């Protein structure tokens, strides 16, 4: 999608600090981190939101979660704990209309969020 911020990051038209990449997903540091470690994991093909996930696209979830596990190890937060967050739609706080998983850690996180 031409005007999608995250698609432009995948295409390297907009710079980002990439921490993980394979043929299915791209992960990069959040520009406005909410924790010492705050990485966004996105599917490379454009998927607007969780609501847009079809049975054919469900395999992307596995790739996204595998990347999150790898990132947690890489960032050394797998032992202390980390949070995975997916917001769906504006009322949930989804600011970019491209499916993304937040990997947050590096400090004690509180509950409930927001």
Q: Which residues are catalytic?
A: 100
For the beta carbon of residue 2, count every other beta carbon within 10 angstroms: 8
CB-count burial class (<10 Å; 0-12, 13-18, 19+) for 10: buried
Q: φ and ψ at 41, to 5 degrees?
A: -110, 125
CA distance 79 to 18: 22
Q: φ and ψ at 82, to 5 degrees?
A: -155, 165
Helical H segments across 13-87, by residue range: 59-74
């Amino acid at each position: 999608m031409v005007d999608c911020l995250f698609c432009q990051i995948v295409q390297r038209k907009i710079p980002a600090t990439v921490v993980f990449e394979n043929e299915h997903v791209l992960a990069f540091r959040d520009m406005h981190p909410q924790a010492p470690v705050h990485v966004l994991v996105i599917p490379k093909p454009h998927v607007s939101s969780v609501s847009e996930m079809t049975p054919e696209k469900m395999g992307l979830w596995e790739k996204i979660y595998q990347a999150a596990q790898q990132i947690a190890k890489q960032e050394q937060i797998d032992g202390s704990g980390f949070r995975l967050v997916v917001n769906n739609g504006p009322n949930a706080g989804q600011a970019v209309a491209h499916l993304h998983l937040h990997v947050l850690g590096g400090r004690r996180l509180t509950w409930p969020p927001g």
